[in-house]
Structure 1
């Protein structure tokens, strides 16, 4: 918890940042971040605040967590509201970042109808708001729109190989439909849109029960449990640290109106899942063993972004290597798990 002195100091820094924007000829913007208490949303909210903007964080807290934005609550230009994007929202904003939707398979498969509604109705409601307010709007799309790809690495021109009736379809097809709606609003109503296709991302503020491979392996290693690999571990993934990804978001939103995307944002360095597990064991010094479980249905065999467009149009390239990002993420989870264990001990 921040002290009063720290809160006053942060408020002063926020005011200075807003003044810097004005002196640079750019007024502070009123920005809505849906899914703002989630993993990516919380990092984005903090970055926007540090730039001097006013930030409205909207989240239904299904997968988002209050603790992710607790350190931001005392700042004068930050407000949190509980809101589900499947319900229309009235807000006086200049920009919208739509990050609302569970992104890990266990969470989005837990309520597939709600996942589809969040992707499709949420996109519709926020596009209507952007249209009414003449606001620029960002869509957090996903590499999952490529499905289990037949093209490697995946360029934006690839239409994908997606099962429309499988257990992952609620998320994959929901995001594909949302992209369609964004481009229809852009072409029919002139709404300024930015669409990012996000590849595997990791870092602090992930949930311990997220169900994605990086968080799974780190939590298992820190707990001394077996590290569970689905399949033989030869399937590949590309892992982008969250700071690099947020930089990509901001560059995309600052790009000319003529550049809408979709644009791949992810780290093109490719690792097998087994290589990731071995790195986590090495960095944590864990005694965990690697065990194998059956591969889930429709799990992609390969996933790696072609980021040629991001490099050319945004000047964006990930900078943080996997080992460095893992160290920061392990530190976060170690503190989180220690804190949760202490609370359990105090209540026992």
Structure 2
């Protein structure tokens, strides 16, 4: 039986990856310090003898007994609310954390896949964004703690690949959504749905002309799975290339939820990307992958999930939102 370590395993994406690799017959070790992860995302796996959970901060030395075939490094705050609140921890998990994972991979002779992000492209001057684009990032701006942590992760991963011959994979993740997202994580989709469910007006930052491309979580997980098992060591964009403006997206959420709220506008945050759309040519050619779930279908599933949450979760999520168009 193959054994895989998934850091950030109790998070939104990490928990879905735990589910997928359990279904594929792996022994899964989830590791998380639960700063932004939630144990409830993986508690359904606890009775499974092929699943184990380690409550640990990967910025500290990592010890895993026995063999390891694969390591997925998904431990990192991913929403602006989180990484602006804990900027030092964000930088540490993107530097010390990846260094520890790469060192463990060398010891175990394991293949590593790291979760990078479309934020390495910053506020892009090339559209849509191909992997060859180097980006337009402000390293000392408010988003720099996240953007530069991810850019460093890519650099050190490629260094281990070229210098040590380590088997490495890099996925650049574009906006992803689905069940287990936190209503209070500051990202636009759960924020809009949360406001609609609470009967609040939907808040748009800027004039709403900025664009995003939303990928349903099952599609993303499939792309990651294929990339891990491929022989391609360089970055690959995984995301849905269907682009939509934030204003159009707000209108979709209002229609989906059947609410009568209006849209209100606030100033655009510093360094907020104006456009975000992946060029997925590499994923199509190398992985034979492209998204299968339409936005309408994915939003319906996600909305049903949020509606099923206890009422206290809904109102716990009501807070002043900033940097929310990510």
Q: When the two structures are superposed, what TM-score results if normalisation uses the length of structure 2?
A: 0.94
Q: Is the counterpart of residue 29 in structure 1 residue 5 in structure 2?
A: no
1:251 deviation in Å? 0.2
Q: Which runs of 4+ in 1 moved over 2 A?
A: 337-343
CA distance in 2, matches of 1:39, 1:342: 20
Query: What is the aligned counterpart of 2:32 among 38, 53, 59?
Result: 59
CA 1:204 to 1:138, structure 2 compared with 1: closer, same or farther past 3 Å? Answer: same
Where does residue 280 of structure 1 map in the other structure? Answer: 253
Residue 225 (1) aligns with residue 200 (2): yes
**Aligned partners of 1:337 and 1:227: how far apart in 2?**
21
Q: Give matches, 1:128-143, under 5 Å.
A: 128-143=103-118
CA distance in 1, matches of 2:112, 2:44: 26
Gaps of 5+ in 1: 1-27, 344-348
1:336 is paired with a residue of what secondary structure? Answer: coil
Alignment of 1:81-120 (within 5 A): 81-91=54-64, 92=66, 93-120=68-95
1:290 aligns with 2:263: yes
CA drift at 1:337: 4.0
Alignment equivalent of 1:202, drawn from 169, 177, 180: 177
- The aligned residue for residue 319 of structure 2 is none
Q: Could you tell me which residue of structure 1 aligns to residue 47 of structure 2?
A: 74
In structure 1, C-alpha distance between the alignment counterparts of 2:98 and 2:59, rounded to whole Å: 8
Structure 2 residue 120 is matched with structure 1 residue 149: no
Q: Deviations over 1:230-278 (max 9, x none)?
A: 001010000000000000000001112xx11200000000000011111
Equivalence for 2:210 = 235
Q: Encode CA deviations 1:204-236: one digit per residue, 9 max, x unaligned.
A: 000010100011001111111111000010100
In 2: Cα distance, 1:269 partner to 1:184 partner: 33
SS state at 2:277 partner: coil
For residues 322 and 111 of structure 1, what CA distance do their matches in structure 2 show? 31
Contact 2:30 2:54 in 1 (8 A): yes
- SS of residue in 2 equivalent to 1:297: coil
**Of 137, 162, 171, the match for 1:187:** 162
Partner of 1:250: 225
Q: Which of 174, 177, 198 in structure 1 is aligned with 2:152?
A: 177
Contact map agreement 2:198 2:314 (CA 8 A) in 1:
no
Give the Cα separation in 2 of the matches to 1:99 and 1:338: 29
Aligned to 2:230, what secondary structure does the other structure show?
coil
Instruction: Quote the Cα distance in structure 2 between the aligned partners of 1:79 and 1:288.
Output: 44
RCO higher in structure (CA 8 A, sep ≥6): 2
Please, which runs of 5 or more residues in structure 2 have no aligned partner?
317-326
Q: Alpha carbon RMSD of aligned pairs, Å?
A: 1.3
